Amino acid sequence: MSEIDLAAITQSVVATGPEIIIICGACVALMLSLVPHPRQHQILASISIFMIGLAASMSYFLSDYPQTAYAGMFVIDNFSSFFKIILYLGTTLTVLMSGKYLVKEGVIQGEYYSLLLFALLGTMIIVSATDLLMIYIGLELQALSIYVLTGFLKSNARSNEAALKYIILGAFSSAIILYGMSLFYGLTGTTNLNQMAAALSTQDQSDPMLILATGFMLVGLLFKVGAVPFHMWVPDIYEGAPSPITAYMSVAPKAAAFAVIIRIFVVDLAILQPIWIFSIAAISLLTMALGSFAALVQNNIKRMLAYSSIAHAGFLMLGLVAGGTGGITSIMLYLLVYTFMTIGIFAVIIVLNKGASRGESIEDFCGLAQNNPALAFMSLIFLFSLAGIPPTGGFFAKFYVLTALVDKGYVELAVVAVLLSAVAAWFYLRIIMLMYVKQPTEHTAIDLNPSIRTVLLIATIGTLLAGLLPAWLLDFTANSIPSVFG
């Protein structure tokens, strides 16, 4: 082996140091799960958080040294580092709020934490991949881990049903993405995004095969974010999966999917924009409309938040329509704020959970302000933010998406988005009314253990700071956009 090859291998290994750390953490957690111990969950959770912290520290160090690895298939840049912040944050908070929930549900399998780390690894690969094959590996690693985690409550019929549906529909989406990738390879002779961009620059944009390849790729990726008409899996899977996993699914995989959509269709293959922009604009409005109106009639809060997630995905897609610096920045800012407020409200659901789905009915929020004023106030902040009401982070996240649209001349889209957001605000306000106006159905003690307190505190602070200091957060986000827009 030549010195050049050895140096390249060493550089690639160092560049993927955070991913290697997570792999090691997942393997250690898996092995320790085989060792019986009365505090197994606490030990595995602590190891998981430590390894995530270690990976985050290395990611921070590597962010000062932009580089490619593995012959251009993997990249370290500000864009991938920003999304990894979201992934680390979402996974850490999920680990923190999982322990008591799993004990309450009678789940003692320690491989839960290993699977969660493997899911994190898949999303990390996705946001740094610059090759279609690497992207597919990340998508499948993440998906396979979440399939198992969705059905982790083996004695729960809803969880089993959700896992089965997710596997079947997820397999279809994976096949569609892979077929789109194969068409792109056939058209360009490469799977590297930079080389594909150079090859496509000389091709006719009206080529039916190019349009078909773009369509298949987008359909598969839009399935991952739950966009209409590829949303049919979201409500059942969100309702049936363990609540911490539902929270994780609504944050990390969604962020990774938008990261890869941005990298492929807005950055590297921006030349394809005329093919997909009008379709994305129409799908985004349909997604917002269906998510908003369907959520109005839900009585299960996890199902309601599933449709809420669909509506938020539609709003995020408007940033793709805007494109450019403003559009990408608005999507990234929105996803960061969305992480705090979504994890926060799911933490509240977990606190209210008493087993057998207690805490999932919207009626279980009745009189929460009397039973626990502090928890009700934090819920108020999360719900205000999800509804886009100032001065929370959700308001400014939506505001910047709308600003990006208006700056690009899509005023009509912005107006429709505002109207649909007003519809969506009602189902959040409905829960607030139940908390503060209705009498509690029963007076029960609410157990706020240290881990869930930490999650609620971080989520509350993050949601409020995003609203009180939006300029700082916007600058931080703007500094993380791909260099082609810098």
- At 149, is the pLDDT very low, low, confident or very high (cuts 50, 70, 90)? very high
Rg of the Cα trace of the chain? 22
Per the structure block, which two tokens stand in for 70?
Answer: 């593995």
Model pLDDT, residue 247:
92
Residues with Cβ within 8 Å of 398's Cβ and at least 6 positions away in sequence, in order, are: 315, 334, 388, 421
Q: pLDDT tens digit string along 205-239?
A: 788 899 999 999 999 999 988 888 888 888 889 98
Q: How far apart are CA 263 and CA 320, in angstroms?
A: 11
Q: Tell me: pLDDT of 366 over 70.
A: yes
Q: Tell me: pLDDT of 43 over 60.
A: yes
- Residue 300's φ and ψ, nearest 5 degrees, are -95, 125
Q: How far apart are CA 301 and CA 313, in angstroms?
A: 18
According to DSSP, the residues that pair with 74 across neighbouring strands are: 69, 129
Among 418, 252, 259, 225, which residue's Cα sits nearest to residue 331? 259
Mean pLDDT of the chain, nearest integer: 88
pTM: 0.93
Q: Tell me: pLDDT of 358 over 60.
A: no
Are the beta carbons of 233 and 168 closer than 8 angstroms?
A: no
Model pLDDT, residue 96:
92
Domains in the chain: boundaries: 3-485
Model pLDDT, residue 27:
92
Q: How far apart are CA 275 and CA 458, in angstroms?
A: 41
Q: pLDDT tens digit string along 86-102?
A: 999 999 999 999 888 88
- Three-class DSSP labels, the chain: CCHHHHHHHHHHHHHCHHHHHHHHHHHHHHHHCCCCCCCHHHHHHHHHHHHHHHHHHHHHHHCCCCEEECCCCEEECHHHHHHHHHHHHHHHHHHHCCHHHHHHCCCCCCHHHHHHHHHHHHHHHHHHECEHHHHHHHHHHHHHHHHHHHCCCCCCHHHHHHHHHHHHHHHHHHHHHHHHHHHHHHHHCCCEHHHHHHHHCCCCCCCHHHHHHHHHHHHHHHHHHCCCCCCCCHHHHHHHCCHHHHHHHHHHHHHHHHHHHHHHHHHHCHHHHHHHHHHHHHHHHHHHHHHHHHHCCCCEHHHHHHHHHHHHHHHHHHHHHHCHHHHHHHHHHHHHHHHHHHHHHHHHHHHHCCCCCCCCEHHHHCCHHHHCHHHHHHHHHHHHHHHCCCCCHHHHHHHHHHHHHHHCCCHHHHHHHHHHHHHHHHHHHHHHHHHHCCCCCCCCCCCCCHHHHHHHHHHHHHHHHHHHCHHHHHHHHHCCCCHHHC
Other residues' Cβ atoms within 10 Å of the Cβ of residue 467: 22
Q: Tell me: pLDDT of 359 over 80.
A: no
What one-letter code names the amino acid at 27? C
Q: Is 30 exposed, middle or buried (0-12, 13-18, 19+ CB in 10 A)?
A: middle
Per the structure block, which two tokens stand in for 85?
Answer: 């912040």
Among 359, 330, 347, which residue's Cα sits nearest to residue 454? 347
What one-letter code names the amino acid at 99? G
Q: pLDDT tens digit string along 429-455?
A: 889 998 888 877 666 667 778 889 999
Model pLDDT, residue 84:
94
- Residue 69's φ and ψ, nearest 5 degrees, are -145, 165
Q: pLDDT tens digit string along 56-72?
A: 999 998 888 888 888 88
Q: Tell me which residue has tokens 């805490």.
A: 359
Model pLDDT, residue 395:
92
For the segment 267-278, the average pLDDT, to the nearest whole number, is: 86
Q: How far apart are CA 204 and CA 267, in angstroms?
A: 19
Quick one: what percent of the chain has pLDDT higher than 90?
Answer: 47
Of 353 and 56, more confident: 56
Q: pLDDT tens digit string along 157-216?
A: 888 888 888 898 888 899 999 999 999 999 998 999 989 988 888 887 788 899 999 999
